[in-house]
Structure 1
Amino acid sequence: MATKADDIQAQLRVLKETYTEQLPVKFEEIEHYRTRILTDDNYSEEDVKTLHRLIHSLAGSGATFGFFDLSQQARAIEQVINAWLPMNKLTIENDSTTVSDMLTALYNLALVESTEETSVPTAVVMTQEPEPEVLIYLLEDDAVLAKQTAIQLSGFDYKVETFSYGGEIKAAIMKKEPSLIIADVTLPEGHAAGIDIICDIHEEINSKIPVIFTSIRDDFSVRLQAVRAGSESYFVKPINIDQLVDRLDKMTRQVIHDPYRILVIDDDATLAEHYALVLRQEGMEVSVCSQPTNVFHEISRCNPEFILMDVHMPECSGMELAKLIRQQDSYISIPIVFLSTENNINKQLAALGLGGDDFLNKPIQDKHLILSVTARVQRARQLSDLMSQDSLTGLLKHTHIKQQLETELLRAKRLGSPLSYVMIDIDHFKKVNDNYGHLTGDRVIKSLSRMLQHRLRKTDSIGRYGGEEFALVLPDTQIVNAQHIVEEIQKVFAEIKFFYKEQEFNVSLSAGIACYPSIDKAVDINMAADKALYKAKQLGRNRTVIDEVKK
């Protein structure tokens, strides 16, 4: 069966064949302008610029498709023609024989290299696999505590199966191994029976399942026994569920980053598509724009976080296009990297002054293209995260969640799909801080943020609106469905038990929801959700209110 990698390799081979077939047409065009410049006294500076651009294009694209010698020869010709600009007829006349001979050599190199077999570089295909289910076995002889813990963990999308004695959990493991075991140290079988059972399990299956021990004991001796039994962590009862979930996340969750979103702008459609295929092999989402006049439509459509742009293009140069893009406030932060054979440092600095961030020299090897783009997008994401994410929760900050609402609203209008916006407030949060301290309050906030991240889709946006308020942007979601989602979160969160010293408490949530298309402006949607939230508080809190316009 053909794999995705096989399919991409086949596409790359087709692109090389297409490029090879296009070479005679490119050569005819070059010859047309060479002949016009060298034989027609009425040639113009625009003719010289066009010839320069055609040679420049070959220098930058040839090696990409296996024409390494052709690319070098074109580069040498380009250096000669550089002296023709601004137009210098005396220099052109003196160089005419040299350029003609160099072009003849160029055409011959193309004939030779087109018959040689060259391999298409391969790369590992990064696929976005769905996150696997995390199954936890809980060994706890207190049935009420076991059920309570299982319910609370299920709120964070963990599947929990409970067992009250060793034989029961051993039999279950022989049928299916869990991702992790949480085991009480003290069981009816003995004061350290939980530790002994885990040691037996590891010996019988000849492998170690990650384990967390819990106990009312907090002495050095039992902690040491737990470590020797392979304990990854140890919690003293009563357990702070938010701390336990934090540890479980670190032990079981694989961080799956969203694919990098790249926009390639190059008037050479074949070369642009080659770059796109190479980057797609690495799991990136790549869009191609071969018409500079369509750039704003493409940016709006694909929302790139990185732009690769050719410098020399007809109608509009890369430098001019970068300046146009930078004039749009919403696009100021998108990194723009120029692709060019230009190695004159002064010209590169001038281009950077017009809105570019860096240069990559053509021709560029596929592996270097991948490494260069990956490194630059990673840095761009890190900077973006520092600017946009709340330091306590990792959620979007106030300003950025509002920007996300505007972005998703535009997308919803374009696609004709619904959009719901939710504002959530932690009830009586001031009392939590007053009674249990700000550190405990921070744990409550982090617990809610973690639950929202677990229970919502990757396409949803979550922000810390301010203090104990949160905002959710739910694309493609009817308001009734949003209400169901929020009420389920309220129910599960209310069941979480928080602890402060010897005290135990629960926290409830209030929420307000507004939607598009009932309201079609972001500022009005935000205001309507806020009013609905206020009404939920007035009605007694611990409830969800839908915007009255929808009703």
Structure 2
Amino acid sequence: MNNSNPMEDPESIEALEPVEEVFSIPCDYEAALQYLGLFEKDLVKGTVISNCLWDKHGPFLEDIMNEKWLADVHPDDRDRLVYAWRSVVEGQGNVFVSEYRIKNTDGDWIWILNKAVVIERDPQGFPVHYVGIDIDITDKKHLEEKLYEFQKMAEEKAIEAESLRVASAVLLTSLDFDEALQRILQQASYMIPSQRASIYIISDKTFQLMADTVLKKKKMFFSFPSTHPCMQALTSGSLLVFENTPIELPDIGDLLNSVMAMPIRIKGEPKGVIMFQDDHVGFFETVHKRLILSFADYIGIALQNADYYGQARQEASKDTLTGMYTRRWFLEQLKRLIAESKKSHGPLALLLLDLDHFKLVNDQYGHLVGDEVLVRFSNNVRQMLRSSDICCRYGGEEFIVLLPDTQKDKAISIGERLIESIHTIQIPSSDDFISVSIGLALYDSELDDQLEDIIERADRCLYRAKDMGRNRLVY
């Protein structure tokens, strides 16, 4: 058995075996302090005990009272460190605690936790004896930085998820296409806070502005040059970011240093562009680029939903037999046209048509023939009307025609031509021809307080036409 005293071992602390070797302990008091990171400076006795960090990382910690070593402290930490130490020097306290970065002999930044206590001061109050400890916390700081990055990323992901959830809710709850686009753009602008955001939809080879955070007037049309970000994004088919290259945008006239544009697709086909713009160079970050991809997808879904909804609404607004618009849809259009007429003081005419003796057609030839008569009648009316005119099946054999921007004389002319054209329609399997009676009314803001008022006035004219022998127009 080896009975030698380990305290007499002359080897330094760096040569010690791991802690599992119970009897391999420091040979003296000073080596133990150095190993633990402790240091002592006694200016009265002229003694210094340096720690392992001083020996490992160079002479920059050799004398904490000599401020030359501060040149190696990280610039972001230097002022804070100097302030803390000078507070101790000036007698505001005897304890110094600080975390800071300092450059070692290899040129790398290491983090140091320094704690020191003043033991003795001279008659002028200057510290002449102090002890402390230095701990290398570089690994700890790196872990904290990674943890902060992970936390920040998690927070960003959570915010992104919530923002995209809101965008999803918009798609599920809003049937109004314009409203859905505006709300999605607002949410996108919250997540990508640039100075301007816009949504353009391709319409007849031009770009229609559908939503914008700056311009109040929407539904504007633009023909952009090939150098415009919208055109370049569509051509490339992918996300484009223009940095430090001022681009003149004819739709607003500004020179913007950062532009980010992403195509909006439906089933792979480009249908528009979402674009963000800002004056600051390098404004758009990775998270912004990631978000614009998602928002472009949501806008594409909104466009597709609007298309489906428009088709379904169009089908629901049409009479299945005649293809004419339904009474409900007609009343919506009448309300819209009356509002426009009030605003512009433009004329609006209404024709109420009723097939003469249609009940006899059904009774004599059957309902299938009656249905065919209605189809032929409807096709004839559509061919006679202008593209701006609106016709609907009001009920049974009654039809209504709205004539926007049409004066009385023009409305009478259209009605009389309808009578002549309809009288050429022959009843299937018969030598008889059909005829129509028409009542005409012009919108009058003083007479028509309700939507039904103009219809009732046209209806009264229609009954007079029936009483006068049918196959005629009365106003």
Would you tell me which structure has more helix in proportion to its own residues? Answer: 1
Higher relative contact order (CA 8 A, sep 6+): 1
Question: Normalising by the residue count of structure 2, what TM-score does the alignment of the two structures yield?
Answer: 0.43
Q: Greater CA radius of gyration, 1 or 2?
A: 2
Question: Normalising by the residue count of structure 1, what TM-score does the alignment of the two structures yield?
Answer: 0.37
